[in-house]
Amino acid sequence: MFNYSEKDKRTMLVLAKEAIASQFPKLKMPLRQLTERKLYKIPPTLKEKRACFVTLLINGELRGCIGHILPIQELYKDIIENARAAAFDDPRFSPLTCEEVEHLTIEISVLTVPQPFFYTSVEDLLHYLGKNKPGVILSKGKNQATFLPAVWHDLPSPEIFLTQLSIKAGLDPYDWKLGVEIRVYNAEKIMD
């Protein structure tokens, strides 16, 4: 999809880890000092505008997930911003503690630009999603929510996936059957 090298992927994970660790003075040198001292260099591939989500896990359990659907800034900046937000600003969780940092697993999902998915029937939609398992953005009026492609691991049935996505969007569980807008995207997942 994006063909990131192993070095690019390591750099992404370092950026995310350092963005979080830099908020705890006793753990690491602040990220700004690392970049000012040029202890590592941002590769050109990470200077392209891309959207990403940063997901934090502890012992396989979700601990935070924040991101952007659309590319609004250079990827390396998006990684730094979303890593900090996932650690300290995800409203579902209390801010990450210093003690939790050493137990974190970080996943970065770099997204393709979402595209509208037009379908003629609910069956068409279910067939496409079940076969391709993309990230999905469901919108109706002012309500909107997304699930990353990785969510298919936990919700493998297209019906259940869309029902839970409707609930996440603040809609009735089966509103996905009634005139919602669907956009789809893919993601390249980078994990440590």
pLDDT greater than 90 at residue 25 = no
Are the C-beta atoms of residues 140 and 113 closer than 8 Å to each other?
Answer: no
pLDDT value at position 41? 80
Question: Cα separations (Å) of 76 from 11, 17, 51, 88, 90?
Answer: 9, 12, 10, 19, 20
Return the CATH number of 6-111, one of 3.30.700.20, 1.10.1740.10, 3.20.20.220, 3.60.40.10: 3.30.700.20
CATH superfamily, domain at 115-186: Hypothetical protein ph0010; domain 2 (3.30.1490.150)
Q: Which of 37, 110, 26, 32 is nearest to 67 (CA)?
A: 110
Burial of 179 (0-12, 13-18, 19+ CB in 10 A): exposed
Domains of the chain by residue range: 6-111, 115-186
Edge-to-edge strands, sheet with 51-58: 61-67, 51-58, 104-111, 187-191
pLDDT digits (tens, 9 = 90+) for 107-158: 999 999 999 999 999 999 999 999 999 999 999 999 999 999 999 999 999 9
The rounded Cα 179 to chain-centroid distance in angstroms is 26
* pLDDT reported for residue 37: 45
Question: What residues pair up with 183 in beta bridges, in sequence order?
Answer: 116, 137
- Mean pLDDT, residues 153-165: 97
Summarised one tens digit per residue, pLDDT across range 66-102 is: 999 999 999 999 999 999 999 999 999 999 998 898 8
Exposed/middle/buried for residue 123 (C-beta within 10 Å: 0-12, 13-18, 19+): exposed
Residue 85 token pair: 């937000």
Residue 174's pLDDT is 95
Look up the pTM and report it.
Answer: 0.88
